[in-house]
Chain A
Amino acid sequence: MTSNHPKNSAEGYAERVLQGDRRALTRLISWAENGDGRFPGALAALYPSLGRAWRVGITGPPGAGKSTLVNELALAMRREDLEVGILAVDPSSPFTGGALLGDRIRMEELTGDQHVYIRSMASRKSHGGMARAGVDACDVMDAFGMERILIETVGVGQAEYDVMGACDTVVVVMCPGAGDGVQAMKAGILEVADVLVVNKSDLAGAERLADDLSEAVHTRAIRSDEWSGEVGSSWTVPVVLASAGKAQGVDEVLKAITSHRAMLDSRGPNGLEDARRKKRVAQVRRVIDEELDARVWNTDELGARVENALAAGSTAYGIASEVVDDLLRGAAFGMRSKES
């Protein structure tokens, strides 16, 4: 196929991604991560091709076995001859900005497979268990032709929900020995789960944890799902015992993911589309927040005004209110445009 676009332009790269060029795939994800000015143009060219991939998030506390489960799920998907993309997020140091990304160690069997693409990503400044460019990376993989995308989050605690906005199905992985049933009843990470996995099922306490979790999800009368807008969802979260390190229970996890997908599909032709559109709206809102933040503070004048107001005895709330009112009236505070 001949191209009308220069090879190194945004459109040229997008075209190469659509043609299955892995070098272009990997470079576009870097552009997304680095905030490269060419990325939005490339993404625009890919947008019409999105929507084919099923996006599955794998989240849970550190050491629960997320990477090992991702590896086993990917191998199982490969046995079904599916194209698989993996995004593995690890934390960045808030002090140095550096990161050690080690999830590939547990995915060695997949490295030589040309139908699998694995990308490690540092969380950089995000604190919700994902990376800012996570959704972008999934979009590029989707356009490239991946049929399944597995997103492994940072090891999370009780309040990291960003994975919900990036995935069609969220799998929460727990393991025995990390707290009693009351931990499982707290608000938080369990509420993002579409599927619960008790990993390391050969360890003492696994059955008990699975029982506690089953109780917790069954007695939750209303599942208020901010992203899909569903209240009182008909989906009962399955609790699956697995031992990913021994390749046990993986097919059952996959079955639970497939059932969740079937449930979304059964909501009618627009069920899945509605859920995805609402997530996309939430992403747009986040991007607007980021761009506002970047543009509003892209000036020294505003900082000086804040300092002066503080010196004059104003409170944080008073200053913020005045500044936002002025911004909405069109005050520029010497701000420069985004590109400068």
Chain B
Amino acid sequence: MTTTLPPAPARENDDGTAAPPALALRGVTRVFGAHTALDTVDLEIAAGEVHCVLGENGAGKSTLCNIVFGSLPPTTGEVLLDGERFAPSSPADALARGVAMVHQHFSLVPTLTVQENLLLGRGVRRLRPDRAGLAARLAAIAETLGLQVELDARAGDLSVGARQRVEIVKALLDDPAILLLDEPTAVLGPDEVDSLLATVRRVAAAGTAVVLVTHKLGEVMRVGDRATVLRGGRVAGSGPLAREGGAGTPGAPALTAADLVGLMVGREASSLDPVLAASVGVVPTAGPSHDGGPEAPARSGTPVPAQGPAQVPAPATGDPVLTVRGLTVDDADGARRVDAVDLEIRPGQIVGIAGVEGNGQSELVAALSGALPASAGTVLLDGVDVTHAGPRRRTALGLGVVPEDRHHEAVVTGLSVTTNLLLGRLHRFRRLGLLDRRAMRAAAADLTDRFDVRTASLDAPMSSLSGGNQQKAVLARELSLDPLRCVVAAQPTRGLDLGAVDDVVAHLRTAAARGVGVLVVSSELSELLVLCDRVHVAYRGALRGPVPTDAPDARDRVAHLMTGAPA
């Protein structure tokens, strides 16, 4: 199989032998209560290959990672490491056996330096941290993989990409046989994605088996050797990936991007909405890829917005529903997070804010929702000054907010679905001073019905819902405000499966068609380009642009602005 691969010289060695795969899963099943997260999954990963595990959210990818990394035992089935039975009792155990994992959410201590972070948890049985050993190992990693880290920088001061590099170096310190990467590109900008993927290739070339868990096809097609697609906890299909200039392994058809999409969603790729296609990365999120680029079905030379079926020309008439003038937000340390932002959204418009994360988007949304105080500037909602108003008043004036961090701010995971849907309007369900539970349940049933929130029971805790259904519940709550003038949605499709992305996008479009102003903040540029009328770019707290999305070179212009280059 190695012949089909792009440069991977170090991998010629494992052929000709019947060496056991570096990692093998045999009939692994994991049951949570009544829910089967993984159903007799078989998987084999050879040393030196990049094996992509694809699937929508809830397909069982994370469970699989957790089983391999020792956080969860399988209910039945077994995991083999180099042909030996492997039943890690804890992540520490898995690490000791040579399985390392880079988590989706970073696990560096922000107040410590990079060196201290790397030393954490190492040599716990020594009196002093092994700085010399670390330096030697880092030098080796830098030489073989070209991965450099700034040892003396504070982890919290690093950019997201640099932090992730530290995470990867940390995982590589023990020279693992298997490296698990869980959705590593979720928070990266286009350039950082490129460099990450290059790193992944080099790590694999050095003989490590890399498991890349993702739901973005573009990345898979760029770095993957083989792919396994999970759907509903089962292996929907697996095989080597098709590459330009190389046939698949003889006897096994190579998977194309279109095949993968079909396996992931269970329907033809060409039937996908452009936004959906963008969200799986069928349209590459970064410019032309270096290793030839995938043969993606929706790929075309220019961005795809014009063919979006729901692109109704926005009736951009009427007074703006949201006017932001010179909005500035300083954080507690006095650092400027949002810098003199001007923004105007008229009824029916969908305006996007793109940008690499950490450029003030979160703070801007927080300031618009009333969670952060503005240091300067004004925010007018439907002509009313709400600069200093709390969330309650903004909601009353018709501002719906879909917060970025669902678990932190959007829902109370421990409370029931009903309560979460109606928490902001409990006063409407009072009867004789008590809550009218029946009326609440009826209202919640109506909302879950209209927004297709799938839940076992309205009294089930919010945490029992899948991410997509939680997000739909949030949308149900925010879009059913009365009055509703403007919706601010931060990363509304993050972490959602395709069906849910479809629904979320449709609901936002419907709202806009009703004359609601919509502001979408997202790090998924492709999504913004197909969804929005115009896209601003957040860069170091300021907004740049806007770039109208129907301009032929919109993608390039936005990508250009994201790098900080002058417009």
> Do the two shown chains form a genuine complex with each other?
no
Where the two chains meet, the residues of A that have a C-beta atom closer than 8 Å to any C-beta of B are none
Q: Interface of B with A (CB < 8 Å)?
A: none
